Structure 1
Amino acid sequence: MKKIFLLSLIFILFLLLIAGTVSAKGLKASIAEMPIYAENKDKGILVDLVKAIAEVSAIPIEICVVPFKRSVFYVTSGKTDFHLPLIKNPEIKEDTLDYDYAAETIFHVNFVLYSYKNMNIDINKIQLYKIETDSAHTDYFNFPVTGSSRIENSLKKANAARIDGFIFADNVCDAFIKKNNLKNIRRQLYKSFEVKIVLPKGGQGKETDNILTSAIKKLRETGRYAEIMGPIDYPYNDWQP
């Protein structure tokens, strides 16, 4: 019994030592460079989120804002402790990825189907239609889609009935539709996806995940999380042009 107690005590001390090491050295975060989300290491909604996490966890977090692919590479290569954001792909098995998802979902993104206003597309039979999406997101669908390198062109084609539909994030597409007065488009929700923080593969980021989970929970409880993330985390709004 005494031996079991000593082993348990050693294990607890080991966990505390790991946590203490993380606290002492701090963490490194890479954030994908995007307007509104992260424009530089001092400006952006996700930058504000990481700073708030550092504050409530009392652990310093070094932030770098770089292009998306480089940011993901930084975490998979061990240069940073976590990357954000990444839309979770339900079509890909997690054990085949070269990174792990953190436990917390940081926000949601609404993928909307934009089609010609007189074309009533049945979402349940969407595989029968000619659909385009952003070329970086073609593997998010379990039916044939065509990749598009220009979101604006695809929306214009949907507006002119040159394609059956275009699916992508409403926070990207809606602004273009309003600015360019595309009146022949019909909007309908395709799916709301979870957006996650990415960690090193194989449980290497477990301690980081615990820190992030605890900090985000505290931010949610005080209402500060909603205050920071509210502008980008919202339910689908079924408005029409």
Structure 2
Amino acid sequence: MMSLLITANRYQDASLSIAAKHLSFFFNMSLLLKLLLASGLSLLSTAASAAELKAGLGYIPSLAEKNGSGPFVDLFKAIAKVYPEARIQIQVLPFARSIRNIELGLQDFHAPMMVSPYVDQEKLPYRFVKKPMGQVCHVLYSRKNAELNREQVFSAASHTAYPYRIEVIRGTKEFFNFPFPIAEATYFEEGMNSVIKGQTDAFIAAQEEGDAILRRLPGKEQIHRSLLACWDDQIVIPKGPHGDEIDRILTAALNRLESSGQLKKLRKKIHGSYSDWQTGVTATTLPAPKKNNQADHHP
């Protein structure tokens, strides 16, 4: 009888031991599942907190090429690198389409965009990042035998009939919104050649883009260059709370680039200060551009 009791007790002990092991196994599995779940939720939370931003760069020959190369592309790659909290997808698009994507909510920001003092920003369907990337100088290209300067083209705006025929590149007219009549040329070469042939009186373009064309153009010796104005070079973002968040992200990234000295180096490859390479006059010897809020509205 005693033997049977011992055997029964051993059996009971073994059963309890097995049950304990099973409970321990399920407890450990439950703990493991909880840890995995917590880890997964943490990863999802991290992924959700990292902003996914779509950037559009307007196609500009030599600065933002269709194949995704150029100094502007390098600048935005640097922005993405110094701000790992956001993942930025960069695409080079036709200028007008990139702007339109902002308005339609298909894109988070666009660059570049110079900020003209003649545009009422409140009426725009988008806004700008508070911190400019830098400045872009615009040049007035006229004929050497009929030179024009900025004082002439702006003061003549008060005339009953504007005496000059001036062009800008197609798609930028509304962004300048000059207080005088402006026509548009499809290509930089077209705008320059119209001046050379006497078909127009002047062509306005950003210095680097315009000079790149002028330097290789037959008849370039007939062109006179003069500074029109230098304005902020900005990033376009949507209006509203989403735009506010993008503004915060891009401003922080630009500040990081600036404090490290990278922004200045990158900008030198895009837009520099005005340089009159035809005569050797630099921006320091030119009259300072008038403030945007002056009554006469000259640049």
Query: Could you tell me which residue of structure 2 aligns to residue 135 of structure 1?
Result: 170
Query: Could you tell me which residue of structure 1 aligns to residue 9 of structure 2?
Result: none
Q: Structure 2 residue aligned with 1:34, among 60, 78, 97?
A: 60
- Cα pair 2:57 2:91 within 8 Å, conserved: yes
Distance between the aligned counterparts of 1:50 and 1:122, measured in 2?
35
Q: Gapped runs of 5+ residues in structure 2?
A: 1-45, 157-162, 280-299
CA RMSD of aligned residues (A): 2.3
Judged with a 3 Å threshold, the aligned counterparts in structure 2 of structure 1 residues 161 and 38 are, in CA distance, closer, same or farther, namely closer
Distance between the aligned counterparts of 2:66 and 2:190, measured in 1?
28
Q: TM-score, normalised by structure 2?
A: 0.67
Judged with a 3 Å threshold, the aligned counterparts in structure 2 of structure 1 residues 164 and 219 are, in CA distance, closer, same or farther, namely same
Query: Alignment partner of 2:130: what SS?
Result: strand
Distance between the aligned counterparts of 2:79 and 2:212, measured in 1?
30
Deviation at 1:203, TM superposition (A): 4.0
Q: For 1:92-111, what aligned pairs fall within 5 Å after superposition?
A: 92-111=119-138
Q: For 1:102-121, what aligned pairs fall within 5 Å after superposition?
A: 102-121=129-148
Deviation at 1:227, TM superposition (A): 1.9
Q: TM-score, normalised by structure 1?
A: 0.82
Q: Which has the bigger relative contact order, CA under 8 A and spacing at least 6?
A: 1
Aligned residues: 222
Distance between the aligned counterparts of 1:205 and 1:22, measured in 2?
18
Deviation at 1:165, TM superposition (A): 1.7
- Cα pair 1:158 1:166 within 8 Å, conserved: yes
Give the letter aligned to residue 137 of structure 2.
Answer: N
Query: Alignment partner of 1:205: what SS?
Result: helix
Query: Alignment partner of 1:189: what SS?
Result: strand
Q: Gapped runs of 5+ residues in structure 1?
A: 1-19
Between 67-76 and 192-201, the greater mean CA deviation after superposition:
67-76
Query: Alignment partner of 1:79: what SS?
Result: coil
Residues 178-228 of structure 1, C-alpha deviations (whole Å, 9 max, x = no match): 212421111101111222111112343111111111111111111111222
Distance between the aligned counterparts of 2:130 and 2:49, measured in 1?
20
Distance between the aligned counterparts of 1:41 and 1:155, measured in 2?
26
Task: Indicate whether 1:167 and 2:204 are aligned.
Answer: yes
* CA radius of gyration, larger in: 2
Q: Percent identity?
A: 33
Query: Could you tell me which residue of structure 2 aligns to residue 195 of structure 1?
Result: 233
Between 74-83 and 181-190, the greater mean CA deviation after superposition:
74-83
